[in-house]
Amino acid sequence: MALEHDYPLRKLRKNLENLLLNVQTDFFPNSSVPPSLEISPNRAFCDLFSTISFQIAKMKSKNKKEYKRQAMMIADLFVKELSAKKIPLIEKIENKNGYINFFIDYTKFSGDVIKSIISLNEKYGHFDLGRNKNVIIEHTSPNPIHPIHIGTARNSVLGDALSRLFRFVGYNVKTRMYVDDMGRQVAYLAYGISKLPLEPYGKKDHWIGMVYSCVATISEILKYETELMDIKKRLLEFLNQLDESLLNEKEIPNTKLIKTLKKISRNLKRYPTINWIEKVEIIFNILKDLLAKNQINRISTALKEKLIGFFDFLKEANKKINNARSWFKVHAELRERWPLIFNHLRKKIADLRTLENEVSSLMIKYENGDPEVKKLFRKICNDALEGFLETLNRVSITFDGFDWESDLVWDGKVKVIINRLKNAGWIIYDEETGVPILDIRRALQEVPEVREIFDLSLEKISQIIKANDLDSLPPNLVLMRKDGTTLYTTRDIAYAIEKISRFKADLVLNVIGADQTLPQKQLRSALVLAGFPDYAKKIIHVAYELVQLPSAKISARRGRFIAFDEILDEAEEKAYEFVATLPNKAEEEKLKIAKAVAVGAVRYALLSSAPTRPMIFDWDRVLNLESNSGPFLQYSYARAVSILRKAEFKLPQDADFSTLIEDIEKEIILRLSLFPDAIESAVRQMRPDIIVEYANKLAIAFNSFYQRFPVLRAKTTELRNARLLLVEAFRITLRNALSLLGIPILERM
RNA sequence: GGGCCCGUAGCUCAGCAUGGAUAGAGCGACGGCCUUCUAAGCCGUAGGUCGCGGGUUCAAAUCCCGCCGGGCCCGCCA
């Protein structure tokens, strides 16, 4: 088991920190600041430095001038005191502008680093952070209504990298996928599939995605058709009223509006089939202009009120019309893409009310475990799941298990949690419908743990309540629909408890989009209120920002997404094109390389930026095979292996590492020694991108070395041996980093 | 309206938690390097008001306040 003292840099740092502290307590006993020691941003300055001199000077000086002098003096003192001792692994110490700069003695340090890496091998970078601790990592959990797309893929790759990281530092990790089979959307899908006489074709999850998009779009279209009819009816009513008002008006202002209104009103009455939709916008704009310029002051209050009422109506109508237009566009798109499915469904689904009723009825039946419906839903979700696993298998993502939402409902676990909340007195009931609602707003006033979850102080809350500005408080959580079926977040509360109790989890990572921050907070609040405050603390929402398409938002309902399979296909194709140009490779190997490179490229692209950063999908980025990419790392690894292979993998037992005097060699060694730091940082912050960054910098340094200095033909045998071991240490470290990221490792490229 | 995330080179991103030296990579542009361990590479050049404005500090990309821009959330959706 690798502990801290196995890592030379950490050992050195600890030692230096102690020595700094000794000097500090000897000479500045009243200074309470901890000694700082950092890695230099630039090896031109030094390797490590401390700014303790500034901290102490701050306390001792009154003005700027004195401060500078103090800092210099203190730094001098530190340098003098420390230089007097013989510090292992330190070549020299100097004061530069008040910084205490340390220079590593690479003649010794290099050997320590390289040898420790080679002896630890696949354990290099390992920590004993998570011994005997269980972590549940829930990730991917896709809605079973569409294939895994680029958005879900960020989740999968992130969750998978986190599980590799946590395993690496000693946690007992179980990955779970939550199968969200109880959503209303699944019911829409089920309804669509039950109406389709067609045999599924293609990959099952892709087929499901097509059907769902069609059903969802048809349902939207039906909704908007009725809404538009309603708008038209109300438009005519308004115009009629206006006609009368205008007739009665003494001082009719001779405006464009009145004329236009009259004309439109006349036309609509005369020709009911005229394209009235466009008129709405015209009238709206004229009216907006008038109201803005306050040109209606002279007319009667009654008419003015009518006009304002009309304006509000038009504003709403306009919004709806724009939405409707966008759905009509989607409608046309889908009809063109999948005419067979779409037209079938369009014929079968003619009435919105029937659709809604049927869908609701399916949901109730499924929730109650109706055998027929159960069979249908489970079949669909299993098909989807099968497709997901096939896709994820391409990028080597697997799960330790699957949890079906419906099981939580059928087992009564959801009911249990609702009852607990009720018995604890935290449920209120909607006056009209009687649906149960979790009273988070009262909890905010009474329960400190809930305030903490929402990062709100009691003062702030009282202030909001006093101002009667309740809308700016976090909202209460509706737990059930009025038809008695459960809601997603409610079921998720039961699942959270399940994860902790069934798996004895010490920590639960929920890898879920940042758009679900509020429900995740509500969930944790519910745990507190149900009497599980310790559970709430164990649950961490690993939030990542969603992936956006360059053109529009990802929307499964609109069939607008880029399937992960498609991305992998493209990446493979591009990689193959490249590999095809390489000499001396069998077809089989070419294919193998293309696949691995594609996975490397895609995983790298999805992991390379911090999860909190919004990502806009970019083909060039995902298909990047050059620098700053997965393939670049894979290539660097293959190059290192290539050297070792030429040496027939015969490595010397030891070497004279003081022969490694080149700057780039020292840089590589320092970088290698920083790997444990990168791991620790990545785990603590739950950010695999830190490993990506690390690996990239390391590989850049290695490639620079590779290009400039021969290993096998080094000038002396001693140098050759030292470099061979350096290459081996690099290979091990990069391999460990790549396996944490799930980027495939290739011996040859 | 309230809340969360993001804003750093033409583009994609590190650096911000814990303030520290000359703000780093890659892509793209330009100029070089394959008879030498794999050129998916390397070397060099150009490119920055760290969104804006205040404040704290010896020191601010980093901390605080206020704006601006982009995204998301505030559903009996998930």
> Is-contact A211 A169, C-beta < 8 A?
no
Tens-digit pLDDT profile for residues A63-77? 777 888 889 999 999
Nearest nucleotide to the CA of A707, by C1', is: B42
Instruction: Give the mean model confidence (pLDDT) for residues A449-459.
Output: 92
CA of A41 to C1' of B46 (A): 24
Tell me if A337 sits within 8 A of A202, measured CB to CB. Answer: no
**Confidence at residue A19, expressed as pLDDT on a 0 to 100 scale:** 94
Q: Which residue has the higher pLDDT, A249 or A472?
A: A472
DSSP track, A497-524: HHHHHHHT-SEEEEEEEGGGHHHHHHHH
Question: What's the pLDDT at A274?
Answer: 65
Distance CA A38, CA A608 (A): 25
- Nearest nucleotide from residue A518 CA, by C1' atom: B73
Distance, in Å, from the CA atom of A127 to the CA atom of A131, rounded to the nearest integer, reads: 9
For the CA of A600 and the C1' of B34, the distance in angstroms is 26
DSSP annotation of A241 reads: H
Determine the distance between A627 (CA) and B45 (C1') in angstroms: 19
Instruction: Give the closest residue to B4 (Cα–C1′).
Output: A517
DSSP of A629-666: SHHHHHHHHHHHHHHHHHTTT---S---GGG--SHHHH
Q: Which residue is nearest to nucleotide B59 (CA to C1')?
A: A54
Q: What end-to-end distance do the CA atoms of chain A give, in Å?
A: 33
Query: CA–CA separation, A726 vs A654, rounded Å?
Result: 11
CA–CA separation, A715 and A410 (whole Å): 74
Write A497-501 long-range contacts (CB < 8 A, 24+). Answer: A497/A413, A497/A417, A497/A527, A497/A530, A497/A532, A497/A535, A498/A403, A498/A408, A498/A413, A499/A136, A499/A138, A499/A176, A499/A403, A500/A136, A500/A532, A500/A535, A500/A538, A500/A539
Pairing relationship of beta strands A427-429 and A436-438 according to DSSP bridges: antiparallel
pLDDT of residue A113: 96
Straight-line distance from CA A391 to C1' B26, in Å? 29
Q: What integer pLDDT is reported at residue A47 of this predicted model?
A: 94
Whether residue A238 has pLDDT greater than 90: no
What own/partner pairs with CB < 8 Å and gap ≥ 24 does A717-721 have?
A718/A655, A718/A656, A718/A659, A719/A659, A719/A660, A721/A652, A721/A655, A721/A656
- In terms of Cβ atoms closer than 10 Å to its own Cβ (0-12, 13-18, 19+), residue A515 is exposed
Q: DSSP letter string over A73-113? A: HHHHHHHHHHHHS--TTEEEEEEETTEEEEEE-HHHHHHHH
- DSSP H stretches of helix in A530-629: 533-538, 564-580, 587-607, 619-622
CA angle A609/A614/A618 to nearest 5° reads: 75
Whole-number Å distance between alpha carbons of A314 and A285: 9
List, as one string, the DSSP characters of A311-337: HHHHHHHHHHHHHHHHHHHHHHHHHHH
Contact A609/A689 with Cβ under 8 angstroms? yes
Residues A190, A700: contact at Cβ < 8 Å? Answer: no
Structure confidence by residue, pLDDT tens digits, A34-70:
788 999 888 888 999 999 999 999 887 767 778 888 8
> What distance in Å separates the CA atoms of residue A577 and residue A590, rounded to the nearest whole number?
10
Tell which residue, A75, A84, A89, has the closest CA to residue A27: A75
The percentage of residues in chain A with a pLDDT greater than 90, rounded to a whole number, is 69
Query: Predicted confidence band at A2 (pLDDT cuts at 50, 70, 90)?
Result: very low
Q: What is the pLDDT of residue A42?
A: 84
User: pLDDT-derived band of residue A572, with 50, 70 and 90 as boundaries?
Assistant: very high
Cβ(A246)–Cβ(A425) under 8 Å? no
pLDDT at A624 over 70: yes
- The pLDDT value recorded for residue A305 is 79
Q: Using the predicted structure, report yes or no on whether residue A10 has a pLDDT greater than 80.
A: yes
SS3 A579: helix
**Torsion on CA atoms A243, A244, A248, A252, rounded to nearest 10:** -10
Separation of alpha carbons A541 and A524, rounded Å:
10
Q: Distance in angstroms, CA of A582 to C1' of B39? A: 12
How many CB atoms are closer than 10 A to CB A341? 22
Q: Which nucleotides of B are covered by protein (CB under 7 A)?
A: 1-7, 12-15, 17, 20-22, 24-28, 36-43, 57-59, 70-78
Number of H helices, E strands in chain A: 29, 14
Tens digit of pLDDT for each residue in A135-185? Answer: 999 999 999 999 999 989 999 999 999 999 999 999 999 999 999 999 999
Number of residues written out for chain A: 749
Would the pLDDT of A311 be above 70? yes
Contact predicate A540/A517, CB 8 Å: no
Return left, alpha or beta for A48; rule: phi > 0 is left, psi -120 to 50 is alpha, else beta.
beta
Give the residue, A127 or A388, on which the prediction is more confident. A388
10 Å Cβ neighbour count for A614? 11
> How many Å does it take to go from CA A45 to C1' B32?
29
Residue nearest to nucleotide B75 (CA to C1'): A478
Q: What angle do CA A412, A416, A421 make, to 5 degrees?
A: 150
Q: Which nucleotide is nearest to A464 (CA to C1')?
A: B2
Cβ-Cβ contacts under 8 Å for A358 (sequence gap 6 or more): A191
Q: Which nucleotide lies at the shortest CA–C1' distance from A479?
A: B76
Query: Which pLDDT value is given to residue A703?
Result: 95
**pLDDT score of A697:** 94
Task: Name the band, by pLDDT with cuts 50, 70 and 90, for residue A314.
Answer: confident
Integer distance in angstroms from CA A679 to C1' B24?
20
Report the protein residue whose CA lies nearest the C1' of nucleotide B6: A613
For residue A472, which nucleotide's C1' is closest to its Cα? B2
Q: Name which of A29-33, A324-328, A517-521, A601-605 the model is least confident about.
A: A29-33
What is the predicted ipTM?
0.95
Task: Give nearest nucleotide to A701 (CA–C1').
Answer: B42
Q: Provide mean pLDDT across the span A85-110.
A: 93
d(Cα A58, Cα A38) in Å, to the nearest integer?
19
Query: Which pLDDT belongs to residue A525?
Result: 97
Q: Classify each residue of A480-513 as buried b or exposed e, where b means 16 or more C-beta atoms within 10 Å of its C-beta.
A: bbeeebbbebbbbbbbbbbbbeebebebbbbbbb
Query: Any idea what DSSP says for residue A121?
Result: G
In this structure, what token pair is assigned to residue A583?
């000499």
pLDDT exceeds cutoff 60 at A217: yes
Q: Which two tokens stand for residue A622?
A: 């995902």
pLDDT band at A284, cuts 50/70/90? confident
Comparing every residue's Cα with the C1' atom of nucleotide B20, the nearest one is: A51
- Is residue A610 a contact partner of residue A689, using CB atoms and an 8 Å limit? yes
Mean predicted confidence (pLDDT) in A103-114: 95
Q: Which residues contact A514 (CB under 8 A, 6 or more apart)?
A: A543, A544, A545, A546, A612
* Closest nucleotide C1' to the C-alpha of A480: B76
Calpha distance A187→A362 (Å, rounded): 6
pLDDT-derived band at A266 (thresholds 50, 70, 90) equals confident
Measuring from the CA of residue A478 to each C1' atom, give the nucleotide at the shortest distance.
B76
Tell me which residue of A530, A378, A335, A510 sits closest to A443, measured CA to CA. Answer: A530
CA distance A512 to A515: 8
What pLDDT is attached to residue A1? 45
CA A573 to C1' B25 (Å) is 28
B42 closest protein residue (CA to C1'): A707
Using alpha carbons, select from A214, A209, A230, A207 the residue that is nearest to residue A348: A214
Nucleotide lying nearest to A182, CA to C1' measure: B78
Average pLDDT for residues A202-231, to the nearest whole number? 91
Average pLDDT over residues A287-314: 73
Cβ burial, residue A641 (10 Å; 0-12/13-18/19+):
buried
A159 CB-contact burial (10 Å; exposed 0-12 / middle 13-18 / buried 19+): buried
- Indicate the average pLDDT of chain A: 90
**Model pLDDT for residues A350-372, shown as the tens digit of each residue:** 889 999 999 999 999 999 999 99
Which 8-state DSSP code applies to residue A688? T
**Helix ranges, A134-179 (H):** 150-168
Distance, CA of A238 to C1' of B30, in Å: 67
DSSP code string of A380-435: HHHHHHHHHHHHHHHTT---SEEEEHHHHHHTTHHHHHHHHHHHTT-EEE-TTT--
Closest among A407, A374, A386 to A208, alpha carbons compared: A386
User: What's the Å distance between residue A695 CA and nucleotide B35 C1'?
Assistant: 33
pLDDT band at A612 (very low <50, low <70, confident <90, very high): very high
Across A189-193, A235-239, A659-663, least confident range: A235-239
